[in-house]
Structure formats: C-alpha cells, structure tokens
C-alpha cells in the first residue's frame, strides 16, 4: 500500500518542525556540547526524528497509522529530517 498524500504531508510537517527546532536550539553553544560539529547535525536530526516522530503525534492520530507502515513513516521522516538539516546548515 502506498503512503497517502495526507500522511506524507503530516510526516513532512512534523519532521521539519523537529529539525528547525533543533537547529535553533543548537545555535546556542551551551545546547550542543563541546564535541558537537555541524557536519554531524543532519545525522543527529535524522536519528532523533526516526526515534521520536510518533511521540509528538496528536493522540487521535498516533494509532491510525497501519502498523506495517509505521516503520516506513519513520524512515520517511528520517530522510526528510536529514534533507532539511542539510538545507539549514548550507543556507
């Protein structure tokens, strides 16, 4: 089964929101830690979105996703997050 446009838009919205929030937070050196490097930011953002994406879905939307698609959505969210993070650090 294919991912619907509605689901795609929802995953994109949440993924980009995560990344933009992290990007703003990481502008403050105290939020990054001494080992932080901007070239690692896309991978960090992708991993966080992959692991946390469904935690922030509204309760009524959290379980409507067919279980077999949940992993596909997490991978899609991760890929969107990496692309958005690269866009932000290269602007």
Tally of domains in the chain: 1
pLDDT tens, position by position, 2-55? 777 888 898 899 999 999 999 999 999 888 888 999 999 999 999 999 998 877
**Calpha distance 34→12 (Å, rounded):** 30
**pLDDT score of 66:** 54
Other C-beta atoms closer than 10 Å to the C-beta of 23 total: 17
35: DSSP letter: T
Q: Which residue range(s) make up the domain with 18? A: 12-89
Alpha carbon 60 to chain centroid distance?
A: 20
The answer to the question of residue 1 being in a domain is no
What's the angle, vertex CA 43, arms to CA 45 and CA 13, rounded to 5? Answer: 35
The answer to the question of residue 28 being in a domain is yes
pLDDT greater than 70 at residue 65 = no
Whether this model's pTM surpasses 0.75: yes
């Amino acid at each position: 089964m294919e991912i619907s446009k509605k689901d795609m838009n929802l995953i994109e919205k949440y993924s980009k929101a995560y990344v933009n929030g992290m990007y703003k937070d990481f502008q403050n050196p105290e939020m990054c830690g001494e080992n932080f490097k901007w070239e690692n930011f896309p991978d960090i953002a992708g991993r966080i979105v992959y692991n946390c994406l469904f935690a922030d879905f509204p309760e009524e939307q959290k379980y409507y996703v067919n279980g077999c698609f949940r992993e596909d959505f997490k991978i899609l969210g991760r890929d969107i997050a990496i692309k958005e993070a690269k866009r932000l650090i290269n602007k």
